[in-house]
Amino acid sequence: MPELPEVESLRRSLQAYVLDQKILKVEVRLPKLVSGRGTKRLDDVSKAVHFQKFLQGKTILSLERRAKNLIFGLSDGGVLLVHLKMTGQLVFVPKTTRNQVATKTGDIKPVIGGHPIMESEKSLPHKHTYVIFELSEGNLYYNDTRQFGYLLPFVSLDEVISAGHFSGLGLEPLSSEFTESEFTRRLGLKKGNLKKVFLDQSVVVGLGNIYCDEVCFQAGVRPTRMVQTLSPEEVSALYQAIISVIPKAVELGGSSVANYLLADGSRGNYAREHKVYKRGGKPCLVCNQTLEQTRLAGRTTVFCPHDQH
């Protein structure tokens, strides 16, 4: 499920647990996830060894985010770039109590992000655990059912940038760079429908299938609309919708798409705020008219034919 609010929620929750910890040992169970794409698979094993040697002995000094990427900053200036793609998760399990951690209030809960916990996933590692980091105070597990994600080592943040990982990315919606005028300017350069333009990350980053539809609903604009036909008022409404929906979703800890809860049930869940996502054919929560479902940019898209124009 990781779109920006989920990745940001994970970053925030994980930060407290991994900062200043030393990476004692790294186990790679699926080398292709740490060796980059487009390269010969023959290189996978040697790259996995490089990955281990590169990380072991270093300390995690920072955990940042750019778009949907997580960036671990290491003690020697090195960087570990992690993209969860569709099903990646990072779960931290403290050494003391297996799979559990004491919270401030003294109760026990797992630390997880990127994907909801299922009963069968509580015991780690499991069959979809592909990378294990042994840290000073516990283990960090990378799980990824569909194996689309990646974890890549770089000697510096500059190297990440020159490798083109962040090229073409648009504005960060949680940052002060995300102004209405800059959003309007970038949108004006694009062609095609809103769904396609939002999903391609070049105007504003972080919107995926869920938040794209939710933002469009909030703005009263159909995702089918060609961006060049939007009025200034509609562009403004879209801007306002983004700065309303995204921070709210982060505040609530992101969305769980399926109906499971986190183990302690305490974590916020933006899924309950969804107005249109997964609601095609159901009545609009505002006007009661049947929500329309279509396919746009290859993705299921839902909007209200009465409230969105």
Partner DNA sequence: CTTTCTGTTAGAAA
Partner DNA sequence: ATTTCTAACAGAAA
Residues constituting the chain: 309
Nearest residue to 160 via CA among 86, 73, 62: 73
Report phi then psi at 164, rounded to 5.
85, 10
Q: Is 68 a catalytic site residue?
A: yes
Radius of gyration of the chain (CA): 20
Catalytic residue from among 66, 68, 190, 225: 68
Cβ 270 to DNA shortest distance, Å: 11
130 versus 239: smaller Cβ distance to DNA: 130
Start-end of H helices in the chain? 4-18, 44-55, 157-162, 180-188, 194-199, 209-219, 232-251
Interior CA angle at 200 toward 74 and 183, to 5°?
90
Q: Check: CB of residue 90 under 8 Å from CB of residue 38.
A: no
Catalytic residue from among 11, 22, 248, 299: 299
Cβ 31 to DNA shortest distance, Å: 12
**DSSP letters spanning 80-116:** EEEE-TTTEEEEEEESSSTT-EE-TTS-EE-EEESS-
Cα(237)–Cα(233) distance, integer angstroms: 6
DSSP state of 217: H
4 versus 18: smaller Cβ distance to DNA: 4
**DSSP letters spanning 34-60:** GS-SSS-GGGHHHHHHHHHHHHTT-BE
138 versus 165: smaller Cβ distance to DNA: 165
Q: Which residues bind DNA (CB under 7 A)?
A: 1-3, 37-38, 67-68, 83, 85-87, 115-116, 127-128, 145-148, 165, 191-192, 196, 199, 201, 208-210, 255-258, 298-300
Cβ 6 to DNA shortest distance, Å: 8
Nearest residue to 165 via CA among 178, 183, 153, 179: 153
Cβ 257 to DNA shortest distance, Å: 3
Nearest residue to 172 via CA among 161, 182, 185: 182
Catalytic residue from among 3, 6, 8, 214: 3
Q: Is 3 a catalytic site residue?
A: yes
Residues 6 or more apart whose CB falls under 8 angstroms from that of 209 comprise 3, 199, 277, 299, 300, 301
Burial class (CB within 10 angstroms; exposed 0-12, middle 13-18, buried 19+) of 200: middle
Catalytic residue from among 2, 5, 116, 173: 2
100 versus 147: smaller Cβ distance to DNA: 147
35 versus 256: smaller Cβ distance to DNA: 256
Q: Is 2 a catalytic site residue?
A: yes
138 versus 172: smaller Cβ distance to DNA: 172
Cβ 104 to DNA shortest distance, Å: 28
Nearest residue to 308 via CA among 205, 207, 218: 218
Cβ 309 to DNA shortest distance, Å: 21
Q: Is 65 a catalytic site residue?
A: no
Cβ 96 to DNA shortest distance, Å: 30
256 versus 308: smaller Cβ distance to DNA: 256
Give the residue numbers marked as catalytic: 2-3, 68, 299
